[in-house]
Amino acid sequence: MTENSNSDRVTRRAVLKAGGALAGMTAFSGKAAAQSFAFKPNQRYPDPSIEILDPSFLKYRLYSSTIEQVASGMRWAEGPAYFPDGGYLLWSDIPNNRIMKYDEKDGNVSVFRSPSNFANGNTRDRQGRLVTCEHSVTRRITRTEKDGKITVLADSFEGKRLNAPNDIIVKSDDTIWFSDPPFGILGDWEGVKAKQEQANTNVFRIGTDGKLTAVLTDLGNPNGLAFSPDEKKFYVIEAKAQPNRCIWSYDVHADGSLGNKTKLIDASDQGSPDGFRVDKDGNLWCGWGSNGLVQSEPTDVNGRKVYQLRGKSEDLDGVKVFSPEGNPLAHIHLPERCANLTFGGPKNNRLYMAACHSVYALYVESHGAV
């Protein structure tokens, strides 16, 4: 994969402060840098940020592993994808209209692509190529070839432009599946405000023949996607589900169609599942945080009427892990809301978590299914 020749370089440095060493802070020389946040990792083993909700999760926790911050300075980090051949992670910084890169070999962070057409979800196909959701301006699915050229895979359906492609995965048969809510065209923060042309917010499949098929048409703003390890189950987050965001489970038929819709996980804790990945045992590792909704009635705070959040962000932010049956196993607490994550590292056991302004990593005794 070829980087843009004009990519800004970002120097990663260790910052020392009174009270201990802070994890890898990122000093951005690029013009679109945002806030960089200091992060003090836990000194003790096991890391108390890893909250065990079911004893069965203990086999996935590495006793002597703690959460690390590998980059900071984004405005909204999303869509991480790991590339084992090069030993690096890519992710989107949506409002800054760029894709970032973290090199495991030297800890360097750089701008991989700018502008990125407000890229959101990214993934790696079975040939090791980057596949990207450009969720504003172009509103298309692209593939970056090994020589750096960009191939457009989809940009319209039934003669109308896609909404704002969001999350994306590749099945073992090389079909590409992506969600198409309107988030990238609703305003001027994560893209450019524009008219929605599709009547529905669909989940699409791109066949190996290039044909685009709407496999789900009845969900309100589908978001994160994943398959079970045997690909017999398909999972999708419905962002506009009522009363709470939820994750639906479907049976995958031989012809690629879906059936037997079942609610697997309901975010009844006022949380907001976003992107997620599945490990080889079928557990769902879900980005989590506050849904942003406020109480129906105000609270008196120092003589003022304040509409407070229904759930506390500091209690919700991070990653929640669920069994294949939807039972909560663990909560990995982060100081920022986690939007998406992926497994990476040489052994596929390093969990990379894209969380608002930063990217965090944690080694686990678990491995990504893909």
Looking at residue 35, its pLDDT comes to 80
Which residues, at least 6 apart from 167, have a Cβ–Cβ distance to it below 8 Å?
Answer: 79, 120, 121, 133, 178, 179, 223, 224, 225, 275, 340
- The answer to whether 90 touches 81, Cβ cutoff 8 Å, is yes
Question: Where residue 128 sits, what CATH number does that domain have?
Answer: 2.120.10.30
Same domain? 121 vs 265 = yes
Q: Count of residues for the chain?
A: 370
Same domain? 227 vs 368 = no
Residue 218 lies in a domain: yes
Residue 297 lies in a domain: no
Give the domain range for residue 314. Answer: 1-72+308-370
Looking at residue 32, its pLDDT comes to 53
- Residue type at 301 in one-letter notation: V
Looking at residue 16, its pLDDT comes to 30
- How many domains does the structure of the chain reveal? 2
Residue 29 lies in a domain: yes
Model confidence over 313-340: pLDDT tens digits?
A: 999 999 999 999 999 999 999 999 999 9
E-strand ranges in 104-165 read 109-113, 119-124, 130-134, 140-144, 150-154, 156-157, 160-161
Residue 355 lies in a domain: yes
Same domain? 167 vs 28 = no
Label residues 89-101 b or e (16+ Cβ within 10 Å = b): bbbbbbbbbbbbb
Residue 112 lies in a domain: no
**Dist CA 323 CA 27 (whole Å):** 38
Same domain? 149 vs 268 = yes
Residue 290 lies in a domain: no
Same domain? 191 vs 124 = yes
94 vs 34, 46, 77, 113, 356, CA distance in Å?
12, 34, 7, 12, 10
Same domain? 261 vs 312 = no
More confident residue, 34 or 370: 370
Residue 245 lies in a domain: yes
Same domain? 126 vs 271 = yes
Same domain? 238 vs 357 = no
Q: Which residues face 121 on adjacent strands?
A: none
Residue 249 lies in a domain: yes
Q: Which residues face 177 on adjacent strands?
A: 169, 205
Looking at residue 33, its pLDDT comes to 66
pTM, full prediction:
0.91
Same domain? 160 vs 248 = yes
Sign of the torsion formed by the C-alpha atoms of 154, 155, 157 and 159? negative
Same domain? 134 vs 220 = yes
Looking at residue 135, its pLDDT comes to 96
- The conformation of residue 368, written as its DSSP 8-state character, comes to B
Domain boundary among 275, 296, 316: 275
Of residues 254, 358, 363, 366, the one with CA closest to residue 26: 358
Looking at residue 22, its pLDDT comes to 35
Model confidence over 35-88: pLDDT tens digits?
A: 888 999 999 999 999 999 999 999 999 999 999 999 999 999 999 999 999 999
